[in-house]
Amino acid sequence: MPRGKPLTLAHTEAMPTAPAGNGITLPELLRAPHERGRIALLLLLLTLTAAWIDMLSYLSLGRVFASFMTGNLLFIGLGVVQGNSGLLIRALVAVLVFLVGVTFGSFCLARAPQQQSGPAWHQTFARYLLMEWLLLLVYAIIWRVTSNLSQQAGVQILLLCVAALGMGIQGALVWAFKIPGVVADALTATLITLGQRFAQDLEHPGPESREWRWSSIFLALLCLVYVASALVVALTSAFMLTPVVPVIVVTIAICALLVPSHQAV
């Protein structure tokens, strides 16, 4: 990873640039300085959503996750060893539906124009996130109209499917950005990248290392958002509006994308 490079799309040098007058590519959009704040806010909001949904799923949908697939793969093995068919089925369903979401999301993104103006890219992302928003709305409605959710195994699996599909769609978008250490639904890569940045700062202190500082702070902020979201859900999981929060967060993300920028790209 080259030093002095800001938190942006990896390997963008090898990707074709847009001819003049035909818009810009996604890597060029992510490199634009005036887009940094918008993309950072989007990633923070999506990380919050993933953590919120994961904690809700773990606490109320049978101790499995909707976006953290590493944990679910472990639960599949644990379910087999313990003979826990319920855990095995829920974890396996979550993994398969998440994979469907990523596949569908990646297909949709691949069909989008690869060279667009900045506002057109924002609209593309907003329309894409609308799919996740609708799934989260269905998730919240089913949750609220179901009584004794802990006793409704079928409804739990249905909610898990809806959530995992939405998180897979979200994951495909974040992965398309190819920002080192950022996948929004798991923080192992984030912590590895953050540790590398700390090591580089210790080895080469000075003006060059300060160029990394803002991206290191951002990575640390993602970790804090994830932990804080999990903490809040654990404290408020019984509240009526808790399942609605992801809908509100993604609504804010969509609105933030549609706010006109001060500098058109």
Answer whether 257's CB lies under 8 Å from 38's CB. Answer: yes
Secondary structure in 3-state letters for 102-161: HHHHHHHHHHCCCCECHHHHHHHHHHHHHHHHHHHHHHHHHHHHCCCHHHCHHHHHHHHH
DSSP-based three-state secondary structure for 24: strand
How many Å apart are CA 35 and CA 265, to the nearest integer? Answer: 9
What contacts 64, CB < 8 A, 6 or more positions away?
Answer: 57, 58, 71, 72, 75, 87, 90, 91, 94, 160
Say if residues 23 and 113 touch (Cβ distance below 8 Å). yes
Global pTM reads 0.85
- Domains annotated for the chain, with CATH where assigned, are 25-258 (1.20.1250)
Q: What is the pLDDT of residue 7?
A: 45
Ranges in the chain, pLDDT < 70: 1-22, 184, 204-212, 262-265
Position 189 scores a pLDDT of 77
